[in-house]
């Protein structure tokens, strides 16, 4: 592998996913964990020049006070996900990286996120121009201070409500006008952050169901700036299983009559998602996969409820009724219990490695080969997990030969 210095900039760095990513990098660096959970550790990627996860320097934005070690220790609540000893051993890195977590963006921030904001070093009424310039200056100075050749920006901040429909109609001139006239309401917060990163030429990944870069004008801007994009809303649990199972029903010509999925989680993400507006983004991204996979839409119900005691150990119970030959009705049920952040963190590392490679290969705009990672993949309508993996393997072959 060529010698490069690379950084990962996490928007929402002090959240459970952000802290788990940082802990993972620090643990890999010390040989304290293996690469289980990393898709890019599979044999398909053996010949690809990817950056070592252990080499990433971490920085980010957040709107809360705190530090990475404290969040990492809190993941899982009363059933901590990560051993205290592991966190203590990794503490020097976690402390150093925490110093590189800068105040996040509050431009047009939704009430649920605003409720979390408690940093003293914020200006709540920051003008749009100043806000964008500040975010960009943070990114540039992170790269400069650590002498990084490349930095990937990944949005792991709280899920915001869906954007108004008019946002999709904006062109870049409208966005520039909104910046000049200090109209923060033109874009949701996540889109301002995405714009800031793309505009300075850093690859951008939206790990959440928020809008991020998913606006035609911003996608065009990314192509002009030769910046690769990926998103949105990582599939780590129930939807991952759904996109593996639905093709099975389709390929056996079994008719799915109904698919009910109840999800409970109790962490900070669950608290934000307990707000109906914020939950709407997540439900929309979870709901759309079945019609595309089956070719018809059975009756569906998807719920997400906050149950505090569950904390990060997200549990999904799915009930699927289907009909076979001679109209015989049958049922399949599954229960998924995962530690949400431990499922998410290796995928963040995969995406960071792949997006930096994509940038080196001059990719710009949505990298649709990364669809396997997302509930609502940018640039493709393919939801079938195994076909998506095939696309990813082709991408790995392409990266290996060039």
Ligand X SMILES: NC(=O)c1ccc[n+]([C@@H]2O[C@H](COP(=O)([O-])OP(=O)(O)OC[C@H]3O[C@@H](n4cnc5c(N)ncnc54)[C@H](O)[C@@H]3O)[C@@H](O)[C@H]2O)c1
Closest contact distance (angstroms) between CB of 114 and ligand X is: 8
Q: Two tokens at 305?
A: 């409820």
H-helix or E-strand spanning residue 399: helix 385-401
> What value, to the nearest 5°, has the Cα angle with vertex 9 and ends 208 and 364?
75
| Piece of the chain touching ligand X by CB under 6 A; list 268-276, 325-333, 353-361, 364-372 | 268-276
Q: How far apart are the C-alpha atoms of 32 and 91, rounded to whole Å? A: 13
157 near ligand X, rule: CB under 6 A: yes
306 near ligand X, rule: CB under 6 A: no
Q: Based on CB atoms, which residue is closest to ligand X, 74 or 150?
A: 74
16 near ligand X, rule: CB under 6 A: yes
Closest contact distance (angstroms) between CB of 73 and ligand X is: 13
Closest contact distance (angstroms) between CB of 196 and ligand X is: 11
213 near ligand X, rule: CB under 6 A: no
| Residue whose C-alpha is closest to residue 140's, from 151, 156, 129 | 151
Closest contact distance (angstroms) between CB of 395 and ligand X is: 21
Q: Based on CB atoms, which residue is closest to ligand X, 109 or 396?
A: 109
One DSSP character per residue, 281-296 reads: HHHHHHHTHHHHHHSS
| Piece of the chain touching ligand X by CB under 6 A; list 60-68, 80-88, 164-172, 223-231 | 60-68
Binding to ligand X, residues 104-123 (CB under 6 A) = 104-105, 109, 113, 116
In this chain, which residue has its C-beta nearest to ligand X?
15
188 near ligand X, rule: CB under 6 A: no
Q: Based on CB atoms, which residue is closest to ligand X, 256 or 342?
A: 342
Q: Starting at the edge strand that comes first in sequence, how are the strands of the sheet with 255-265 ordered?
A: 299-306, 255-265, 313-323, 329-339
Q: Which one among 6, 8, 9, 11 touches ligand X, defined by CB under 6 A?
A: 11
Q: How far apart are the C-alpha atoms of 284 and 300, rounded to whole Å? A: 12
Q: Two tokens at 52?
A: 């070592």
DSSP-based three-state secondary structure for 241: helix
| Residue whose C-alpha is closest to residue 358's, from 204, 210, 216 | 204
Cβ within 8 Å of residue 306, ≥6 positions away: 264, 265, 266, 270, 271, 273, 274
Can you give the length of the chain in residues? 402
- Neighbour count for residue 66 (Cβ, 10 Å): 17
| Piece of the chain touching ligand X by CB under 6 A; list 76-84, 233-241, 316-324, 356-364 | 233-241
Closest contact distance (angstroms) between CB of 402 and ligand X is: 31
Q: Based on CB atoms, which residue is closest to ligand X, 22 or 358?
A: 22
Closest contact distance (angstroms) between CB of 68 and ligand X is: 11
Q: How far apart are the C-alpha atoms of 267 and 306, rounded to whole Å? A: 8
Closest contact distance (angstroms) between CB of 28 and ligand X is: 19
Q: Which one among 189, 211, 275, 388 touches ligand X, defined by CB under 6 A?
A: 189
CB 128 within 8 A of CB 184: yes
74 near ligand X, rule: CB under 6 A: no
279 near ligand X, rule: CB under 6 A: no
Interface ranges with ligand X (CB under 6 A): 11-12, 14-18, 61-64, 104-105, 109, 113, 116, 156-159, 189, 207-208, 233-234, 236, 267-269, 272, 340-341, 343-344
């Amino acid at each position: 592998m060529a010698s490069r210095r690379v950084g990962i900039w996490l928007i929402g760095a002090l959240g459970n996913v952000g802290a788990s990513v940082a802990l993972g990098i620090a643990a890999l660096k010390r040989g304290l964990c293996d690469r289980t959970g990393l898709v890019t550790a599979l044999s398909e990627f053996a010949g690809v020049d990817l950056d070592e996860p252990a080499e990433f320097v971490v920085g980010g934005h957040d709107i809360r006070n705190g530090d990475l070690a404290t969040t990492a220790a809190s993941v899982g609540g009363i059933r901590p996900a990560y051993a205290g000893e592991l966190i203590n051993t990794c503490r020097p890195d976690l402390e150093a990286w925490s110093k590189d977590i800068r105040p996040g963006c509050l431009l047009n921030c939704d009430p649920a996120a605003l409720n979390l904001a408690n940093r003293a070093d914020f200006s709540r009424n920051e003008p749009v121009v100043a806000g964008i310039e500040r975010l960009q200056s943070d990114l540039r100075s992170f790269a400069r201070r650590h002498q990084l050749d490349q930095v990937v920006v990944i949005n792991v901040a709280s899920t915001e409500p869906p954007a108004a429909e008019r946002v999709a109609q904006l062109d870049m001139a409208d966005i520039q006008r909104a910046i000049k006239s200090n109209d923060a309401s033109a874009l949701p917060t996540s889109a301002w952050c995405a714009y800031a990163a793309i505009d300075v030429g850093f690859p951008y990944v939206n790990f959440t169901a928020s809008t991020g870069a998913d606006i035609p004008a911003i996608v065009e801007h990314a192509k002009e700036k030769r910046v690769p994009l990926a998103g949105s809303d990582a599939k780590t649990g129930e939807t991952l299983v759904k996109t593996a199972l639905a093709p099975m029903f389709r390929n056996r010509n079994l008719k799915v009559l109904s698919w009910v999925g109840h999800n409970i989680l109790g962490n900070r993400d669950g608290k934000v998602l307990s707000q109906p507006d914020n939950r709407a983004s997540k439900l929309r991204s979870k709901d759309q996969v079945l019609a595309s996979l089956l070719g018809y839409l059975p009756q569906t119900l998807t719920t997400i409820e906050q149950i505090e005691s569950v904390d990060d150990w997200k549990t999904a119970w799915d009930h699927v009724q289907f009909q076979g030959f001679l109209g015989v009705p049958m049922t399949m049920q599954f229960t998924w219990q995962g530690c949400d952040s431990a499922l998410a963190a290796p995928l963040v590392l995969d995406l960071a490695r792949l997006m930096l490679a994509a940038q080196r290969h001059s990719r710009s705009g949505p990298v649709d080969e990364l669809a396997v990672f997302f509930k609502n993949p940018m640039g493709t309508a393919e939801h079938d997990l195994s076909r998506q993996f095939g696309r990813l393997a082709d991408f790995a072959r392409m990266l290996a030969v060039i």
